[in-house]
Chains A and B, each alone.
Chain A
């Protein structure tokens, strides 16, 4: 059997991305299914991530699968010095699919090469987090009705934020215009700007974050500016309040604008934004359920047609 593991979104074609979004839409219409009734899903979290784990486990449960796994590597054999390969081989004996979060970069790729069952990457260090990208794409698709020709503003920590990097790469198929809004210390790395040039993606860079800058935005993707990312703490003190979104900044923005955030937020979106119709970050997290249901089914070889037929029963 071909290896259907999901390690990175970069491997997916435009058609495949749209196909998975279509499948996610089916699950939004009807999330409770029996498609994975006889399946066991293992969730191996070598690094805690409550949000991602709950979302994957909910997805598995709503599809009828049984879930095994661990949430903290301290209780597993890896704390006794067991290699990742051995853990993966052992769990492959029990489960039909492994959802794995790991603190080391490349762990998911390696696991997918040694495991006899498919691996779903739920984040490997600072490297990839494809299910987050799928839910971001689904949220954009759902709120804008399309992924094509959008003005997408990425705000905050663009240097270390892996979600913005993956989103940028996945959007290459859809002719976007990006605006990178970040302090100089956390600006978009050169390699991603080069990526944009190589793929003919338009982008502008801003250090200011205000009403005028975001006037043409369709999507405002906020991220957290973390203190520990700064080498120069004076610089942090200077910029920490600049990249905060307040409700009054939204008055003259486009009516179709939606605000996304991978969560958890700290203070980069003021609480007065929560009640605004343009705030979308909580619904975005809910979309993670449908996106992950689609990912689990696809990786296990269940097609969109089967998903559609399933509701007609």
Chain B
């Protein structure tokens, strides 16, 4: 069968596949998940063809599963990312990332006069509009767009 597509990245026995990452956000996602501190096998691929995104990145992490809190961090930069949970080469669960209602310690406030930029403290945002990606700082109450945010 010459129709069969060649696998672009080696298959995973157990672990998590993070797929459909926009290419320019790949390394941000790596940082958000703290993968540089993970000891298990990690395969990172980038600039693969994607019908939806044009170019996409993919991360395969062996023997590691992520909790919802960790996953929700990714939503800020890459809302359409999909996670496949793999056990014994089979996809046992697919997860679509959902933006959480609150973001704590993930995003920096754009307002230089906000207390969070002047005290050693955690930032806290309320997600007001998930579709529009509108966030509101819990402290200074300024709203900001997801596209303009800086990560901590």
Show the binding face of A for B, using Cβ within 8 Å.
Answer: 8, 83-85, 102-107, 109-110, 124-128, 191
Is B34 an interface residue, CB under 8 A from the partner? no
Contact across chains for B143 and A191 when beta carbons are under 8 A apart? yes
A-contacting residues, B52-92, CB 8 Å:
none
Give 9 A-B contacts (CB < 8 Å), ordered by A residue. Answer: A102-B115, A106-B138, A107-B115, A107-B139, A110-B116, A110-B119, A110-B121, A124-B115, A127-B141
Contact across chains for A106 and B120 when beta carbons are under 8 A apart? no
List of A residues within 8 angstroms of B113 by Cβ: 103-105, 125-126
A-contacting residues, B127-152, CB 8 Å:
137-143
Contact across chains for A110 and B120 when beta carbons are under 8 A apart? no
List of A residues within 8 angstroms of B120 by Cβ: 83
Distance in angstroms between the alpha carbons of A83 and B121 in the assembled complex: 10
Contact across chains for B140 and A125 when beta carbons are under 8 A apart? yes
Is B41 an interface residue, CB under 8 A from the partner? no
Distance in angstroms between the alpha carbons of A103 and B121 in the assembled complex: 17
Contact across chains for A85 and B121 when beta carbons are under 8 A apart? yes
A-B complex: 7 closest residue pairs judged by Cβ atoms: A106-B139, A105-B140, A106-B140, A106-B115, A104-B115, A107-B115, A110-B115
Distance in angstroms between the alpha carbons of A103 and B142 in the assembled complex: 15
| Nearest neighbor of B143 in chain A, beta-carbon distance | A191
Is B106 an interface residue, CB under 8 A from the partner? no
Is B40 an interface residue, CB under 8 A from the partner? no
The one of A83, A84, A104, A106 in contact with B141, judged by C-beta atoms closer than 8 angstroms, is A106
| Nearest neighbor of A111 in chain B, beta-carbon distance | B115
Q: In the complex where A84-B115, A84-B119, A125-B113 touch, is A106 in contact with B143 (Cβ < 8 A)? A: no
Interface-centre pick from B111, B115, B142 (highest chain A CB count, 10 A): B115
Contact across chains for B111 and A109 when beta carbons are under 8 A apart? no
List of B residues within 8 angstroms of A84 by Cβ: 115, 119
B contact patch SS: loop
Distance in angstroms between the alpha carbons of A298 and B121 in the assembled complex: 29
List of A residues within 8 angstroms of B114 by Cβ: 104-106
In whole Å, how far is A98's beta carbon from the nearest beta carbon of chain B? 15
Beyond A85-B119, A106-B115, list 10 extra A-B contacts (CB 8 Å): A8-B141, A84-B119, A102-B115, A104-B114, A104-B140, A105-B115, A106-B138, A110-B115, A124-B115, A191-B143
List of A residues within 8 angstroms of B141 by Cβ: 8, 105-106, 127-128
List of B residues within 8 angstroms of A8 by Cβ: 141
List of A residues within 8 angstroms of B2 by Cβ: none
Is B8 an interface residue, CB under 8 A from the partner? no
Contact across chains for A105 and B111 when beta carbons are under 8 A apart? yes
Distance in angstroms between the alpha carbons of A103 and B141 in the assembled complex: 15
| Nearest neighbor of B141 in chain A, beta-carbon distance | A127
Distance in angstroms between the alpha carbons of A107 and B119 in the assembled complex: 9
List of B residues within 8 angstroms of A105 by Cβ: 111, 113-115, 139-142
In whole Å, how far is B124's beta carbon from the nearest beta carbon of chain A? 9
Contact across chains for B121 and A104 when beta carbons are under 8 A apart? no
Interface-centre pick from B120, B137, B139 (highest chain A CB count, 10 A): B139
List of B residues within 8 angstroms of A126 by Cβ: 113
Is B118 an interface residue, CB under 8 A from the partner? yes
In whole Å, how far is B130's beta carbon from the nearest beta carbon of chain A? 18
| Nearest neighbor of A125 in chain B, beta-carbon distance | B113
In whole Å, how far is B93's beta carbon from the nearest beta carbon of chain A? 37
Distance in angstroms between the alpha carbons of A103 and B120 in the assembled complex: 17
In whole Å, how far is B132's beta carbon from the nearest beta carbon of chain A? 13
List of B residues within 8 angstroms of A106 by Cβ: 114-116, 137-141
In whole Å, how far is A21's beta carbon from the nearest beta carbon of chain B? 24
List of A residues within 8 angstroms of B139 by Cβ: 105-107, 109-110
Distance in angstroms between the alpha carbons of A83 and B118 in the assembled complex: 9
Distance in angstroms between the alpha carbons of A8 and B139 in the assembled complex: 11
